[in-house]
Amino acid sequence: MIKKCLFPAAGYGTRFLPATKAMPKEMLPVLTRPLIEYGVEEAVQAGMTTMAIVTGRGKRAIEDHFDISYELEHQIKGTSKEPLLNSIRSLINKCTFSYTRQVEMKGLGHAILTGETLIGDEAFAVVLADDLCDGNGNGGVLTQMVKLYEKYQCCIVAIEEVPKEDTNKYGVIAGNEIDDGIFMVTDMVEKPDPKDAPSNLAIIGRYILTPDIFDIIRETKPGKGGEIQITDALLTQAKKGMVIAYKFKGERFDCGSVDGFVEATNYFYAKSKEEPKTAKKK
Ligand code: UTP
């Protein structure tokens, strides 16, 4: 059983400046809920109870969000506004939150290694909260991946097909399809030029990792952009043993970009308008 979920949330979020100058990117709201709350909800739905968050300077709002605000709760107690806190209260009751800081932003691989102290020696999930996912009737993406982990017991990355010209924004895999939408990874390249990309299967912000990845990251030299890349560590892992790539079912929005963020907002807004109708039909 996978109980812990790691949220690397120390990045600067430069694509969203100036909004992210004093506010963490993970706290940008889609409708009324910050991005990281959606990620935590997805992890809870997949059966995880320990949220391990790697933060950095200027990210304190994340800790405050997953805590009780006594003054506010006292003010709205018994009013029509009280139910607005139901979703976050219920999340706080279902899991615990622990934090560590990445002091220097040396890349996603380094952020994951920084989380080792919170994870220990067990398999864990990773959520990049700026990739907002909706299983769209198929269960959350992490729920789908946990099922796969039960079968394969190895590192798993979630992938989706992207336009070939966009491969330079992602880690891209090559692999042999061993089952419908499930690939045994043979190669992985971080942000390849479209002409060099081994496929158009891009890694998105959902991973299940086995704890031996920490030692591999420790040995991984800085790669693309001078950063320690999880993609490079996973390629080592794939060569040594086995890494699976899984074409998840559902939708994914890159909320670290303005276009993706607006698409997500429109999608969840439309969905919020549909839900009462569906409920009435039942
Ligand atoms: P991004 O590539 O989206 O970088 O990182 P970023 O800094 O957050 O955003 P931009 O590109 O400047 O707009 C992918 C994920 O890895 C985390 C980020 O917080 C994000 O969730 N990350 C990245 C870290 O935690 N530490 C790092 O050193 C780098």
**pLDDT tens readout for residues 217-243:** 999 999 999 999 999 999 999 998 899
pLDDT band at 58; cut points 50, 70, 90: confident
Residue 278, pLDDT score:
52
Given a cut of 60, whether residue 279 has pLDDT beyond it is no
Number of the ligand 1 atom closest to the C-alpha atom of 7 = 21
Asked whether residue 277 carries a pLDDT value surpassing 70, the answer given is no
Looking at the predicted structure, is the pLDDT value of residue 170 above 50?
Answer: yes
pLDDT digits (tens, 9 = 90+) for 198-209: 999 999 999 999
Yes or no: say if 252 and 140 are a contact pair by the CB < 8 Å rule. Answer: no
Find the 12 Cα to ligand 1 centroid distance in Å: 6
Count the domains in the chain: 1
Give the distance (Å) from ligand 1 centre to CA of residue 79. Answer: 39
pLDDT in tens, 150-161: 999 999 999 999
C-alpha–C-alpha distance, residues 26 and 186, integer Å: 32
Tokens in use for 248? 């998840």
- Comparing C-alpha atoms, which of 175, 138, 135, 134 is closest to residue 157? 175
CA of 117 to the centre of ligand 1 (A): 20
**pTM (2 decimals)?**
0.95
What's the CATH code of the domain at 25? 3.90.550.10
Mean pLDDT, rounded, for 120-128: 98
Structure tokens at 202: 């891009």
Model confidence at 102: pLDDT above 60: yes
pLDDT band at 54 (very low <50, low <70, confident <90, very high): very high
Euclidean distance between CA atoms 57 and 67, whole angstroms: 19
pLDDT of residue 248: 97
Give the residue whose CA is nearest to atom 16 of ligand 1. 108
Which ligand 1 atom sits closest to the C-alpha of 8? Answer: 25
Q: How far is the CA of 129 from the centre of ligand 1 (A)?
A: 10
Question: Ligand 1 centroid vs 73 CA: distance in angstroms?
Answer: 33
pLDDT digits (tens, 9 = 90+) for 88-100: 999 999 999 999 9
* Most informative mutation of 108, 114, 255 for ligand 1 (most atoms within 8 A of CB): 108
Whether the predicted pLDDT of 282 surpasses 80: no
Asked if the model's pLDDT at residue 10 lies above 90, the reply is: yes
Helices then strands, counting H and E runs in the chain, come out as: 10, 13
**Per-residue DSSP letter, 221:** P
Nearest to 128 by CA among 38, 58, 189: 38
Question: Where do the H-state alpha helices sit in the chain?
Answer: 35-45, 60-65, 70-76, 86-94, 108-114, 116-119, 141-152, 213-219, 230-240, 258-281
Cα→Cα distances 270→120, 132, 273, 274, 277, Å? 41, 16, 5, 6, 12
Q: Calculate how far, in angstroms, residue 246's C-alpha sits from the geometric centre of ligand 1.
A: 22
> From the CB of residue 136, how many other CB atoms can be counted at a distance below 10 Å?
13
Residues of the domain holding 95: 4-281
Residues of 39-75 as b/e, b for ≥16 C-beta within 10 angstroms? bbbbbbbbebebbbbbbbeebeebeebbeeeeeeeee
Tokens of 164: 């070939």
Contact residues of ligand 1, CB 6 A cut-off: 8-15, 25, 54, 102, 105-108, 110-111, 128, 130, 256
Nearest CA to ligand 1 atom 15: 128
Work out which ligand 1 atom sits closest to the CA atom of 257: 13
